[in-house]
Structure formats: C-alpha cells, structure tokens
Amino acid sequence: MKELNLLTKTQNTWCPGCYNFVILSAVEEALRELIRKKEIRKENIVAVTGIGCHGKIFDYLNVNGFYGLHGRVIPAAVGIKIGNPRLTVIGFGGDGDTFAEGIAHFLHACNTNPDITMVVHDNQVFALTTGQMTPTTEKEYKGPSSPEGKKTNPINPIALALASGASFVARTSVFQKDHLKDILIKAIKHRGFSFVDILQPCITFHNTSSYLKERIYDLEEKNHNPRDFKKAFNRALEWNYSLDEKSSIPIGIFWQEQRKTFEEDLCQNQKPWYLFKRNLNYKKLISLLR
C-alpha cells in the first residue's frame, strides 16, 4: 500500500532542534496509524490551530486546516464539529494561547464536552513573541516583560481540567515520543473533550529539559486507575508546574469517562449540514408573519 503523505513540502521555520518537530512527527504517526486501522478517514481530519510557534503545524500537516485566532482554537473547533459531526477535529494550541487568551473557552469545553481533541504545546513560555511569561510559567521567571521575576504561581492545567469536568485528561512529553503518540491516539479516539498537555521545553527561551527529564514518570507504572477521580486529582497535584526541586511529574491518562457529547446532545442532525435538504415552503413560512 502506498504510504499516506500527511506532511506538506513547506519549508519549516521552527528553530533548529525545536521539540515541535517531535510533536509534528508524533502527530503524523498517530494519524497515519488511525487512518490505517480505519478508525478515522484522512479527508475528515481538521487541524485547528491558534497563534504561536505551535500554530505553524497548520502549514506542515497535509490535512484540512483552520488557522484561527490566538486563544480561539476551541470555539472554532467546536463550531467545525457542529458544522459537520463526521469530522475528526483536533485543536493545537500553545500554553499562552489556551490558558491566557483562551482560558474561558477551555473551562467551558471541559464542562460541555464537545467531541474534539485539544493538544497543548506547553513550553511554559510565549516563544514566538520572544520569551514572556505565560500562566504556566514558574514563579520568579525572568523574561523581557518580567525582569524582576514573575510574581505569581503557575496555574495547573491538569487540575483545572479535572475540576472543570473534562472527560479525558492526559499529560505527555516530547521526551517519550512513543508515549506521546500513544496518548494522541487515545485522545483522538475518545468521544468527548480530550485534553492533552504536552510538556515541551523551548530550547531558546525556556529550556527546562534537564528538570523535566529527571522527574517524569509514567502513571501506568504506578498502576494508576484513570476511572478514579480522587486519585486522578491527587496525581494532578503532585506537580504544580513550578520548577520545584522535590516534585515528580506524572505523565499518562489521569482521568477518562464516557458521557454524552455537546453536539450529540444539541444536534438533531448528525450529518454535514451542507448535505441536509430542507424543503422550505415559502408560503407556509410567511404565514408565520401573519
């Protein structure tokens, strides 16, 4: 069988050595596997991206794409899913994108459970705007907008997603590509809102490689049960996204449950709207104006 080409020939402009290359490659492999196993169809994939380094993945993936606004990946993705429930909608966002500009959408999507996947390239810094702090940046971080150090603690997106009702909550990292690919496959297959936080150093502005590498462990090795909400929450609190020396950093699926999705609850019509024939009787319609 001919190898499916899921990459464009566009010149890549990420920094040499950027961990986004790992994410791109894992995404490509995950999609290829899902297509090969007939879990999804290539023509039904839509990649929705925000603005930031992560967003360039729009240009590199040879699938349908919506390159939207900074912070607005989730509502655009929700709209696409409503517009055609047959599509496989995968959102890519940065940590600034998702947790600063777009935090309201993130919380509501966790709550309403649209069947989309939200992948966050979490390098804990604004990279494309040259290194300012984001909500997940550690306290005391000195960047161009915080020369005296960041004054506040980072937010914990895993705990936030759990508290807000997300039905699939996972963390992975760019240091374990197979794990990353495996989580992506499970997230895409999950029916409902899947949140995947990918830990990723920014080699230019926020290089946390050695800190992360030394502390990451796999939840599966600890026999974590992703159906146990209390334990999921406790695991989520093991690391608060600071660069605390004592922390260890769990990766894997924290929590997964099946419940009705936003669009299946909303849409009486589960096919693409453009295929929907509505035989409107104009006379009957204007009789409503009498």
Partner 1 sequence: MVMKKNILIGGKAGQGVAMTSALLGKIFVRGGFYVFNYRDYPSLIRGGHNFNVLSVSDSPTFSFEKSYDIIVALDQNTIEKHRSNLRDGGFILGNKNLRSKNLVSLDLDKALSELDLPLIFGNNILVGYLAHYFGIPYSLVSEVIKKEFGSKSHLVEKSIKFAYQIDLHKSEKIYRKRRAKYFFSGNEAIALGALAGGLDVYFAYPMTPATPVLHYLARLQREYNILTVQLENEIAVINAALGASFAGAKTMVGTSGGGFALMAEACSLQGMSEVPLVVYLAQRTGPSTGVPTYNTQGDLKFALNIGHGEFPRIVVAPGDAKEAFIKTQEAFYLSQKYRVLTIILGDKHLGESHFSFDDIERPLLKPKDFILRKPNKNYKSYEFTVTGVSPRAVPGLGPVVRATGYEHREDGITTENENEIIKMTEKRNRKEKFIEKETNKLNPCKIYGKGENLIVSWGSTKGAILDSLNYLKSFRFLQILYLRPFPVEKVVKELSKAKKVVLVENNSTGLLGDVIREQTGFAIKKRILKYDGRPFSPSEIIKKLR
Contact residues for partner 1, defined by CB under 8 A: 8, 10, 43-46, 48, 51, 56, 58-59, 62-69, 72, 74-84, 86-87, 104-105, 108, 266-269, 272-274, 276, 278, 280, 282, 285-286, 288-290
Q: In the bound complex, what is the minimum distance in angstroms from residue 269's beta carbon to partner 1?
A: 6
Question: Which residue, 163 or 237, is less far from partner 1 as judged by CB?
Answer: 163
Question: Which residue, 223 or 268, is less far from partner 1 as judged by CB?
Answer: 268
Question: Which residue, 104 or 237, is less far from partner 1 as judged by CB?
Answer: 104
Q: In the bound complex, what is the minimum distance in angstroms from residue 35's beta carbon to partner 1?
A: 14
Question: Which residue, 75 or 135, is less far from partner 1 as judged by CB?
Answer: 75
- Pairwise CA distance, residues 224 & 220, whole Å: 6
- Pairwise CA distance, residues 203 & 22, whole Å: 13
Q: In the bound complex, what is the minimum distance in angstroms from residue 6's beta carbon to partner 1?
A: 10
Question: Which residue, 87 or 174, is less far from partner 1 as judged by CB?
Answer: 87
Helix (H, G, I), strand (E, B) or coil at 119: strand
In the chain, where does DSSP find H-type helix?
20-36, 57-60, 73-83, 95-96, 103-112, 157-164, 177-189, 209-215, 229-236, 262-266, 282-287
- Pairwise CA distance, residues 121 & 159, whole Å: 17
Q: What is the DSSP string of 192-210?
A: S-EEEEEE--BTTTB--HH
Burial of 194 (0-12, 13-18, 19+ CB in 10 A): buried
Helix (H, G, I), strand (E, B) or coil at 31: helix
Q: In the bound complex, what is the minimum distance in angstroms from residue 256's beta carbon to partner 1?
A: 24
The type of residue at 279 is: N
Q: In the bound complex, what is the minimum distance in angstroms from residue 166's beta carbon to partner 1?
A: 15
